[in-house]
Amino acid sequence: MLIAKKIRLEVSEQDAATLEFMQGKCRGLYNWWVMKLRNGEKWPGWEKAKKTLQESKQHDPELCFVYGKLLAEVYFRLHEAMKAFFRRVKAGEKPGFPRVRPRHCFFTLIYPAMYLRVEGRHLTLPTGGGGRHGPKRYPDIIATLTEEAPTGYRDVAISRDGQGHYYASFVYEAKEETHEHDGVLAIDLGVKTLATGVNEQGRFYHIGGFKGNRWYNRQLDKIRSKRDKCKKKSRRYKRLSQVYKRVSQQKRNKQQDSLHKASHLIAHKLVERTVVIGDLSQRQMVMKEHRERNKHLNRAVFNDWGLYTFTQMLVYKCMLYGKDLVILDERDTSKTCSGCGHKQNMPLWKRTYRCPECRLVVDRDENSAVNILKRYLARLGPHTGDPVRCADGFTAIDDVLNTFEHI
């Protein structure tokens, strides 16, 4: 299992300029290829594409000042992007053709481990040129790591955040831990609570997400409107732009942090061996519909947790801690009564499930979580009339139902 440790870098002004130069050139090369591919050229695979680098260098001699391994990495990345594109086309998903990388985003630079040096807190990143290419325009970058680097890393990715801080992410192999306990935890990813989980013993977990989005958005609006009243490029304008960047980065960090904590809790702290979540692809359709219908209200009706990111985190954290993550078709899990199987419409504003048939009254998300658990244990298809139960699923379902009757 590969994981990455991200460490902030301190770089001199000159080295920052070098990094900016190199990422600009790499992005240029990447975008040039993307445009070619968009115009119908066939992707020749990374090996053949890499051979065209000499040609590209003749076209743009400045490419010689970029470290060669970084340029080679551009072809690998494009290769991966194209592979993912074809895989999605084959699977009938949204294709998502590789996109041109915008200028304001830092194009991540990836150094293979053997080409850089870490000495104590100093990280040396080579640049291009020198030797037979004549004198180097940019000397090698010597950055200071704010934390100790991990050992045994394979790649190091250099990135920059919205505020202009540089980071090095060390990708390394982590030892997998295994849990002895088993059991299943079914999770419903919701709009009010980030995740509601239930295990076979009928115990519920409510895991909230970051609630400060609305507050942050209001602050950001204020700063922007203040800024827009100033003369462009004036000192105050620039300062407020800085503040804006800082605050929006802060918001992103807090959001990410809460997702990390929640996924860590599920993947590491809870004892259940198997984690079951619903498939998000259908969820997004429902959300979109909901948003369309509530457009006139002009406000977010549900929290934007970043559920996609959250499931991605769950995927890798479950792998890291040796758990099984199962992604299940979650169709109708919120509509169906977890007690008797009765179905009714559940618009998003209805927070409590009230069953007219068996009089079950239960929290909406808890109801869905139980349904997901039941579906996992019984391996029910979405619209199968007859439940096909696996032998060991029986008792578990009854246990959950028993605990329900006490509510």
In the range 22-51, which residues lie near Zn ion by CB under 5 A? none
Greatest extent of the chain over all pairs of C-alpha atoms, in Å: 83
Q: Which stretch binds Zn ion (CB under 5 A): 67-75, 275-283, 292-300, 336-344?
A: 336-344
Q: Which stretch binds Zn ion (CB under 5 A): 18-26, 106-114, 180-188, 339-347?
A: 339-347
337 binds Zn ion (CB under 5 A): yes
In the range 343-382, which residues lie near Zn ion by CB under 5 A? 355, 357-358, 360
Least CB distance to Zn ion at residue 277 (A): 24
Residue type, 132: R
Least CB distance to Zn ion at residue 342 (A): 4
335 binds Zn ion (CB under 5 A): no
93 binds Zn ion (CB under 5 A): no
267 binds Zn ion (CB under 5 A): no
How many residues in the shown chain lie near Zn ion by CB under 5 A? 8
Among 319, 342, 399, 404, binds Zn ion (CB under 5 A): 342
Would you give the distance in Å from CA 283 to the centre of its chain?
17
Least CB distance to Zn ion at residue 105 (A): 50
Q: Which stretch binds Zn ion (CB under 5 A): 206-214, 217-225, 325-333, 337-345?
A: 337-345
Least CB distance to Zn ion at residue 370 (A): 12
Instruction: Tell me whether residue 39 is exposed, middle or buried, using C-beta atoms within 10 angstroms of its C-beta: 0 to 12, 13 to 18, 19 or more.
Output: exposed
What is the Cβ-side half-sphere exposure of residue 384, based on CA atoms within 13 angstroms?
11
Strands (E), 218-284: 274-278
17 binds Zn ion (CB under 5 A): no
In the range 279-308, which residues lie near Zn ion by CB under 5 A? none
User: Which residues on adjacent β-strands are paired with residue 232?
Assistant: none
* Residues ≥6 apart with Cβ < 8 Å to 140: 124, 125, 126, 127
Closer to Zn ion by Cβ: residue 286 or 340: 340
Least CB distance to Zn ion at residue 359 (A): 7
Closer to Zn ion by Cβ: residue 337 or 380: 337
What are the backbone dihedrals phi and psi of residue 326, each rounded to the nearest 5 degrees, phi first?
Answer: -115, 130
389 binds Zn ion (CB under 5 A): no
Residue type, 347: P
DSSP for 149-208, written as a single string: PPSSEEEEEEEE-TTS-EEEEEEEE-PPP--S---EEEEEE-SSSSEEEEETT--EEEE-
Residue type, 20: E
CA distances from 13 to 128, 142, 155 (A): 18, 11, 24
84 binds Zn ion (CB under 5 A): no
340 binds Zn ion (CB under 5 A): yes
Q: Which stretch binds Zn ion (CB under 5 A): 284-292, 296-304, 333-341, 399-407?
A: 333-341
Closer to Zn ion by Cβ: residue 144 or 352: 352
Least CB distance to Zn ion at residue 340 (A): 3
Instruction: Tell me whether residue 156 is exposed, middle or buried, using C-beta atoms within 10 angstroms of its C-beta: 0 to 12, 13 to 18, 19 or more.
Output: buried
Binding-site ranges for Zn ion (CB under 5 A)? 337, 339-340, 342, 355, 357-358, 360
